[in-house]
Amino acid sequence: MIQKLIRKKLIRLINSKKVLRLFFYYHKFFKDKKLGSIGFDFNNKKTRLSIVQEIISKKKYENYLEIGCFDNELFNYINCKKKVGVDPVSGGTIRDTSDNFFKTNNENFDCIFIDGLHKYSQVKKDIQNSLTFLNNDGIILLHDCLPNNYYDQAIPRCQWTWNGDVWKALVECRTDENLDVYTCYADFGIGVIFKRKNQNLLEYPKENFSKLNFEEYFHNHKKLMNIIEYNDLIKLI
């Protein structure tokens, strides 16, 4: 109980306006290479709510897992026979970290939506754990995979609207011949992972994908992320 209370207070502190502002100036003067914005515009694109629900309905999925529920905007919207939501702070059905959840979990899922801690190392673990509990013909979806500028993905976080470096974990998955990976151009970028032969293998040798930098992504995002429109995604499904 005390540990959970400390975790909540720490999260509030890290995301406070003063702390975010401090990190913003740190990135501005020491990290940002003034590349500007890529120009993604998600205003007229589908939301993650409609995308996830349409996939579940189309595939007749029965078991849904959501990692990182926050205010339950997505979790409450989803209509599925069995729903499990994991979050250490708020929302969902299980109040715990995803790491702890997967250690004791014994259920498989058809659709898993990952929207927890937006840092490469954690996202990578969430993907690996999700693959272990993904049913055949299942799908893994990830939110916030297409940052528009350096600050959107900067670590440590420096603004409220934030993708984090989720994109790095997806790029790494694209180099796996046994995973078919795409990024849907919608709702800040929806990563898509199928546990099947890679249809567009990314040849990108890298010993440590956490070392990928925003400049690489900025100039090569289409190739790295394998970006597709929602209508093309539905055809693949």
Which domains, from first to last, does the chain contain?
Answer: 2-236 (3.40.50.150)
pLDDT at 144 over 70: yes
pLDDT of residue 205: 87
What 8-state DSSP symbol labels residue 196? Answer: S
The strand pair at 180-184 and 190-194 is best described as antiparallel
Residue 62's contacts (CB-CB under 8 Å, 6 or more residues apart) are: 80, 81, 82, 110
- pLDDT grade, residue 40 (50/70/90)? very high
Local confidence band at 1 (pLDDT 50, 70, 90 cut-offs):
low
pLDDT single digits (tens) 161-215: 999 999 999 999 999 999 999 999 999 999 999 999 999 999 998 889 999 999 9
Say how far apart CA 70 and CA 26 lie, in whole Å.
27
CA distance 182 to 171: 9
Name which of 202, 142, 131 is nearest 172 in CA terms.
202
Give the pLDDT score at 67: 98
- CA atoms within 13 Å, Cβ hemisphere of 48: 24
Q: Is 19 exposed, middle or buried (0-12, 13-18, 19+ CB in 10 A)?
A: middle
Do residues 225 and 167 touch, judged by C-beta distance below 8 A? yes
- Residue 221, class by beta-carbon neighbours within 10 Å (0-12 exposed, 13-18 middle, 19+ buried)? buried
Q: In the prediction, which pLDDT does 17 show? A: 84
pLDDT of residue 48: 98
